């Protein structure tokens, strides 16, 4: 049925996410860019990986790559030199593929981590010879990519879960909970009596998804309960879950069940924030 007002949907953003994932996975070759074509670059220094994103002027993905890394903890850079080395590598690979030098980039920090951590992220970017244009907060970057003006973004990354409520483009509430994907890994490690590094690989193995999920389900329910409490004080829909730790087949079903509302998950949820960050590079 046609209604006058267009419903908010994930359709367009899912298309971009799928294109981006093809570039990251090497299923699609990046095109060489024109000399002096303006590029928009995003750097996401995360607890579990560093993601480099390159967009064209129309915010279409040109290139993407990431490296797993343990250089950031709970949004704070704990290995400055290590971060720079990885970013230098990612930048050099991007320049080689695109045939152009990357001259500027934007970065991001979790909300409420302060000016110091923004400076550190800017310094990491500048140490790789890119001008740090803007350091934005992560949920705002995610909302920009999702074109979400009113709603709740739940970003479940490696170390933390960030719940951010937007009303008419304004971030009106942020709750950061120190539980993320690494806690799911620890639960799995404890259950199977195996080292955390082995449990991490087991967790990400798509063939083990249905065996893993019942074990980590209580962690998902905890995150949904926290989100429910936040929404009891500030209600904004839709609820969008992003971040790598939402990558289970039954995640949304379990999360929505505890939340008591339907949450939505974009395709390749781990790339939402990195793509949003690059959109700020002007
Ligand atoms: N296929 C998968 N199944 C389950 N979990 C996954 C999968 N892929 C990645 N993860 C988990 O997602 C988490 C990383 O997510 P993401 O890349 O969004 O985090 P980050 O940005 O590095 O961290 P943070 O935002 O907390 O600083 C890790 O805990 C990782 O194990
Ligand atoms: Mg993140």
Which residue of 21, 42, 48 sits with most ligand 1 atoms within 8 Å of its CB, as the best mutation to test the pocket?
48
Per-residue model confidence (pLDDT) at position 76: 85
Together in a domain, 165 and 100: no
* CA-based torsion, 221, 145, 174, 262: positive or negative: negative
Per-residue model confidence (pLDDT) at position 4: 59
Together in a domain, 129 and 148: no
Tokens representing 257? 């069940």
Number of domains in the chain: 2
Residue whose CA is at the smallest distance from ligand 1 atom 25: 157
Per-residue model confidence (pLDDT) at position 5: 65
Closest CA to 69 of 93, 90, 45: 45
Per-residue model confidence (pLDDT) at position 3: 55
Which residue of 141, 212, 243 sits with most ligand 1 atoms within 8 Å of its CB, as the best mutation to test the pocket?
243
Closest CA to 148 of 273, 267, 281: 273
Q: d(Cα 149, Cα 264) in Å, to the nearest integer?
A: 15
Together in a domain, 188 and 260: yes
Closest CA to 91 of 42, 36, 49, 58: 42
Measured from the alpha carbon of residue 188, the closest ligand is: 1
What is the residue-level pLDDT of the chain in tens, covering all 282 positions?
555 567 789 999 999 999 999 999 988 888 778 888 999 999 999 999 999 999 999 999 999 999 999 999 877 899 999 999 999 999 999 999 999 999 999 999 998 888 899 999 999 999 999 999 999 999 999 999 999 999 999 999 998 899 999 999 999 999 988 889 999 999 999 999 999 999 999 999 999 999 999 999 999 999 999 999 999 999 999 999 999 999 999 999 999 999 999 999 999 999 999 999 999 998
Per-residue model confidence (pLDDT) at position 111: 85
Per-residue model confidence (pLDDT) at position 35: 84
Together in a domain, 29 and 133: yes
Together in a domain, 238 and 173: yes
Identify whether the C-beta of residue 45 lies closer than 8 Å to the C-beta of residue 71: yes
CA 132 to ligand 2 center in whole angstroms: 19
Whether 1 is in a domain gets the answer: no
Tokens representing 165? 């409520």
Range of the domain at 161: 144-270
CATH number of the domain at 60, please: 3.30.420.40
Tokens representing 197? 């590094």
Together in a domain, 162 and 265: yes
């Amino acid at each position: 049925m046609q209604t006058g007002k267009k419903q908010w949907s994930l359709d367009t953003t899912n298309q971009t996410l799928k294109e981006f994932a093809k570039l990251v996975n090497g299923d699609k070759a990046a095109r060489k860019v024109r000399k002096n074509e303006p590029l928009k670059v995003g750097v996401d220094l995360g607890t579990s990986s560093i993601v480099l994103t390159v967009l064209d002027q129309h915010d279409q993905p040109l290139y993407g790559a990431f490296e797993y890394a343990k250089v950031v903890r709970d949004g704070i850079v704990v290995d400055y030199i290590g971060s720079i080395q990885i970013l230098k590598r990612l930048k050099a690979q991007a320049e080689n593929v695109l045939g152009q030098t990357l001259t500027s980039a934007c970065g991001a920090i979790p909300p409420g981590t302060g000016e110091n951590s923004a400076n550190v992220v800017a310094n990491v970017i500048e140490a790789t010879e890119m001008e740090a244009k803007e350091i934005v907060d992560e949920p705002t970057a995610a909302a920009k990519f999702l074109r979400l003006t009113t709603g709740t973004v739940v970003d479940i990354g490696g170390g933390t879960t960030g719940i951010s409520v937007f009303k008419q483009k304004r971030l009106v509430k942020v709750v950061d909970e120190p539980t993320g994907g690494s806690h799911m890994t620890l639960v799995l490690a404890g259950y199977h009596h195996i080292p955390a590094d082995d449990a991490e690989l087991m967790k990400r193995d798509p063939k083990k998804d249905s065996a893993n999920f019942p074990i980590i389900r209580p962690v998902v329910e905890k995150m949904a309960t926290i989100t429910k409490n936040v929404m009891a004080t500030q209600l904004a829909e839709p609820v969008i879950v992003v971040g790598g730790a939402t990558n289970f087949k039954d995640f949304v079903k379990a999360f929505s069940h505890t939340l008591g509302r339907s949450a939505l998950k974009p395709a390749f949820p781990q790339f939402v924030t990195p793509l949003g960050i690059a959109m700020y590079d002007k």
